[in-house]
Amino acid sequence: MKDKQHVLVTGGAGYIGAHTVVELLHAGYQVTAIDSLERSEQRIVEGVSSITQKEFTFTKVNCLDAAALDQLFAANRFDAVIHFAAYKSVNESVEKPLMYYNNNVGSLLVVLETMKRHRVPDLIFSSSCTVYGQPDHIPVDETAPFKRAESPYGATKQLCERILEDMTTEGLRVVSLRYFNPIGAHPSALIGELPIGIPNNLVPYVTQTAAGVRAQLTVFGNDYATPDGSCLRDFIHVCDVATAHVKAIEFLNHLKSPTVCEVFNLGTGVGVSVLELVKKFIEVTGVKLNYKIGPRRPGDVEKVYANPHKVMQALHWKPTYDLGQSLLHAWQWEQKIRGLVN
């Protein structure tokens, strides 16, 4: 069955997209990956080929291009779509809200219209724990209400989930995966995260500081109501995030219902502080990381980590990498792209 199933991955050259293409190919799926290559690079596509030694199709397509998407669906029989294509910087979304609404919501609408026209029923959507804002109860489960999103980025994810809920009456079967903090890189160091410019996210900033690309890491605040004063997060290895997408496809394959709308928190369930992560990085890499404590970053939630019970039960999935391995893989990838190792 899997050898025949054909999955379209949008944003397939992106961070989580590329790692998911690897896992889909390993699992025996036929894959077509598309990406605008606006914020990713062809070398990631080559990295996927090197890792898997399997054939797959890659085409440069922007999901806002309805004609190109229609042509692609007309030329292929897709059994499911995994939709990653979106902008994901919280800070940038605050500076450029219209660009985020247009791209993140607009591309989903084009994908949905094209899926409907070509009768492709199954969609896995890339959502985010940012939909919760600062949850009232930690660890957070899927019943937690959406609070006012802290950023336009978070608002686009809330809006997209609402659109998907309303689409199920049209015969769409959707699973939304709410990522917590994906980190790390493939153990081969052939693919990983390629942040553009100064990284917003913690781990790329840590590895770039360790590589000497950044002078010093600033820990944004150590006066929160947490054990060591720094924020708590749920850091999950990107390969574990990727395998959950394969499990989500299989979950839909086993459902007979013509309409499905499920959401799963995709985290480890372990809350780790920023300072704990910094110390773990130093421990596993042996690198003396130059960091200081700075002021809080506006918009940061104090603590958020998942209750992963639902995803573990329903998708028969569990995380396989721990924090140390995730940080080591992130560091190995950084060293590779900076030419610090061959």
Which amino acids are annotated catalytic? 153
Instruction: For residue 130, state whether it binds ligand WQD (rule: CB under 6 A).
Output: yes
Cα dihedral 319, 219, 130, 122, rounded to 10, equals -40
Tell me whether residue 2 or residue 147 sits nearer to ligand WQD (CB atom): 147
Cα–Cα distance measured from residue 331 to residue 210, given in angstroms and rounded to the nearest whole number:
8
Q: Smallest distance from the beta carbon of 299 to ligand WQD, in angstroms?
A: 8
Instruction: For residue 233, state whether it binds ligand WQD (rule: CB under 6 A).
Output: yes
Strand partners of residue 35: 60
291 to 330: interface string for ligand WQD, x by CB under 6 A: ------x--x------------------------------
Structure tokens at 46: 């080559």
Structure tokens at 140: 């957070």
**CA 181 remoteness from chain centre:** 8
Instruction: For residue 177, state whether it binds ligand WQD (rule: CB under 6 A).
Output: no
Q: Smallest distance from the beta carbon of 170 to ligand WQD, in angstroms?
A: 26
Stretch that binds ligand WQD, among 29-37, 123-131, 164-172, 320-328 (CB under 6 A): 123-131
Instruction: For residue 128, state whether it binds ligand WQD (rule: CB under 6 A).
Output: yes
**Residue 227 identity (one-letter amino acid):** P
Instruction: For residue 144, state whether it binds ligand WQD (rule: CB under 6 A).
Output: no
Instruction: For residue 202, state whether it binds ligand WQD (rule: CB under 6 A).
Output: yes
Q: Smallest distance from the beta carbon of 134 to ligand WQD, in angstroms?
A: 11
29 to 48: interface string for ligand WQD, x by CB under 6 A: --------------------
Instruction: For residue 231, state whether it binds ligand WQD (rule: CB under 6 A).
Output: yes
Pair 288, 255: CB distance under 8 Å = no
Cα–Cα distance measured from residue 330 to residue 209, given in angstroms and rounded to the nearest whole number:
12
CB within 8 Å of 126: residues ≥ 6 apart: 11, 16, 82, 83, 84, 86, 177, 179
CB within 8 Å of 75: residues ≥ 6 apart: none
Q: Which DSSP helix (H) or strand (E) runs through 204?
A: helix 202-210
Instruction: For residue 129, state whether it binds ligand WQD (rule: CB under 6 A).
Output: yes
Instruction: For residue 147, state whether it binds ligand WQD (rule: CB under 6 A).
Output: no
Interacting residue ranges for ligand WQD, rule: CB under 6 A: 88, 90, 128-130, 179, 181, 200-202, 205, 217-220, 231, 233, 274, 297, 300
